[in-house]
A and B are shown apart, each in its own frame.
Chain A
């Protein structure tokens, strides 16, 4: 097992380098110039009326200065080499926007995004797995079809629309006022509040974002679960179990469910990067300062250090996730062994 792990770990290195090279090239070859964007007064200036353009004539000299300051005037391959070198010394560079270390900016936003994603992943699993089981055991019944239909309808509802509707109807304004329309804490929130109040305040603010972040996951995962259950249900040992006279409950929950969970382990691989992935849409609509927002704004502003760091981190987490799920698969399924079978 140790040699297998080593082998896998060594293989990660070229994969990782390939990924960073592609990421770097995509980002750098995309049209757009961070210096120009800064000269135009940040994103708002550029998207708006073209304000600040009157400085144009004298600004070119400033652009040259600015590029030199960040080393953007050097040849591309040298910039890549410098960047990779810095990566290995864990120096992720400084944001073009405010000269702050990118790493600080990420750490600042990490807790929010992780919190949001943990809750939403939990919610997806709590809802989707029972739903899948139910659908599989009540195959083609009226309720199975309703559940399927419902899941797909949810899957098809665009998130931006749903989120905007939720804000308009449920968050004050002219209709119901059940939840706050955005943000993370109440205006008068203070760290001195008793724990219970802090938790309930947080729950009140996170409820809508978490629900909205989860609903389209219901369809995917419950379908997955249903298919997996159906496959196992058709196997001989299930018939044997039933023939032995086991109750249907035991058959389903003990024998079928356990076996049909195995394929789900592979999905776990995507959870790790998903934890920091963040949702651009939800974070934007609800003004939640998470990593999705950070990444999105960085891409628009061509803030290369920030984008590339986020990209690298999620690439790394994906690779680790895949490795972990491979290991987990061996642990839950005795039919799979480490290394090449039969050696």
Chain B
């Protein structure tokens, strides 16, 4: 009988892929990320494994030179920083530091005091020397970490005050400097630089031209770039054990973890975290169902709707839906003769049926947004007027802006700078992104009804990016990751960022917005920052430089034997999970490979 149902499900999957419709999985409303599955208030206990799906191998496990999400997923269990965020309130809190840093009056100098009870995984204590080494390694221009280094451009110098106190000097007052410094990955100096080659250079020296650096710095960098890709060692709760390329990667709970039993520090319970590398979602889902995986962080939307709704699946796994802080948008080139007019941009938003897009393109797994700020942030303005799908209003705005079909060829036109311009433009997006493609086609279809000709163009990622950077587009569909921390919209919206291939690719320029963005960065009072950004959002809402589309939702599946599974603002946190002894599947067996 179960077989019958599965057959039907399978046929449905075959024939309806991409057609949309069908049964809608239950979605909650936005407001709070929903908390689930706190069934029995039993005592947390150690033991058992968690087998985690990973879509690809980490690039490498050197925390400074790797720059991909698969690596950071793994490294987060091995390394720690001076500060961390409270996963529930998102507030910064001390971690390896005893307290949040003392900041000087001019907001340039940050002094951190380091806990004295922290030990690396080899038992040696973590001291200020290790922190100083870590910032030197990041700042060293020969270390292959240019993409990480840009975040630390603001750090000019660092010195030890005493063995457990370190002082950082920054270039200019900026409220996010604390977070940047708190996020330095702390590396054991004795392990990553056994000869202490960086001892004699200062952070200031490292800011010089690479060619002027002494030879031993080069020797350190070569060694560091090459020999630490597969043997990470930090102070975190899990130690690295093995990595079989393309198959699996094992992390083992460190029984000697310095944070064991310490209040305010995450207590790890699972004995083994096994990342299984399965590079396609179909096979991963089958592996999950057959017991070879315990946790898939991401199910494809179609798998959520059709492959995982059986009773049998629900008995074994819980599915969790939550927002991932990334939004999609249509960017209008504000320097374009047609889209320079805000009435036209507003009309475009009225023509965009965003609710329908969420329903059909995202299978309901998403939410329409109207602002670049993540809606769980206090800066987000909940009173922002949204633009409904309303073609009549859109047409009204276009007429007001002087667009009409004067020659009867079915396409709107207008005289701009003495020339008659028809309303034709091109929407660009990167190939291989089905969501963006569907959004573009939906809009194209709608605009056709109103006498606007939009052509749709798919481009290879790097070529697309080049066009975007060089402002060679009329309209683009893209996405921004927002992060759950304090936002800083300067790079995307400040007029100075429109030049030199900056992130303000649509050339948005508004003096008031410029002023707000500059003030915000210098403002150390969170309440005032919120006020500033609310105003910023209202201006954007009125000018519609982007048509904001939607935020997508992730759907995760977790084996039911795991307890403590909770959706937090930043997603799921396996570090908090545990399995009651009676339900343990692998027990305390950690020896197997």
Contact = CB atoms under 8 A, between A and B. Distances in A.
B481 A99 contact: no
Contacts of B289: 172-174
A112 to B, nearest CB: 8
A171 B153 contact: no
B481 A167 contact: no
A164 interface: yes
A52 interface: yes
A183 B276 contact: yes
B279 A284 contact: yes
Given A58-B150, A62-B147, A181-B290, A287 B278 contact: yes
A285 B280 contact: yes
B225 interface: yes
B501 interface: yes
Contacts of A32: 460-463
A50 B65 contact: no
A293 B248 CA distance: 15
Contacts of A53: 478-481, 503
A243 interface: no
Interface in A83-134: 94, 97-100, 108-109
B146 A62 contact: yes
A58 B500 CA distance: 10
Interface string B66-94: 11111000000000000000000000000
Nearest to B326: A49
Contact of A286 (B6, B68, B283): B283
Contacts of A36: 462, 465
A32 B439 CA distance: 25
A183 B53 CA distance: 13
Interface residues of A, number: 70
A54 B283 contact: no
Given A285-B280, A289-B246, A173 B285 contact: yes
Nearest to B289: A173
Nearest to A34: B462
Interface string B552-593: 100000000000000000000000000000000000000011
A220 B497 CA distance: 59
**Interface SS of chain B: helix, strand, loop or mixed?**
mixed
B481 A175 contact: no
A181 B501 contact: no
B284 to A, nearest CB: 8
A342 interface: no
Interface string B244-269: 11111000000000000000000000
B309 to A, nearest CB: 11
Considering residues A33, A57, A177, which has the most beta carbons from chain B within 10 angstroms of its beta carbon? A57
Interface in B24-72: 51, 55-57, 59-60, 65-70
Interface stretch (A2-10, A146-154, A187-195, A324-332): A187-195
Given A42-B68, A49-B481, A98-B229, A167 B286 contact: yes
A56 B150 CA distance: 10
Interface string B454-470: 00000011110100010
Contacts of B10: 168, 174
B319 to A, nearest CB: 16
Given A57-B491, A173-B289, A50 B480 contact: yes
Contact of A287 (B9, B274, B283): B283
B481 A174 contact: no
B512 interface: no
Interface string A296-338: 0100000000000000000000000000000000000000000
B287 interface: yes
B561 to A, nearest CB: 16
B502 A56 contact: yes
Interface of A: 31-33, 36-63, 65-66, 69, 94, 97-100, 108-109, 164, 167-168, 171-175, 177, 180-185, 187-191, 284-290, 293, 297
Given A32-B461, A53-B481, A66-B147, 9 more contacts: A59-B150, A69-B144, A100-B60, A173-B285, A182-B283, A183-B278, A187-B248, A190-B593, A297-B56
14 contacts: A32-B460, A33-B462, A42-B59, A44-B69, A47-B432, A50-B480, A55-B150, A59-B150, A94-B226, A98-B229, A167-B283, A181-B287, A181-B290, A181-B292
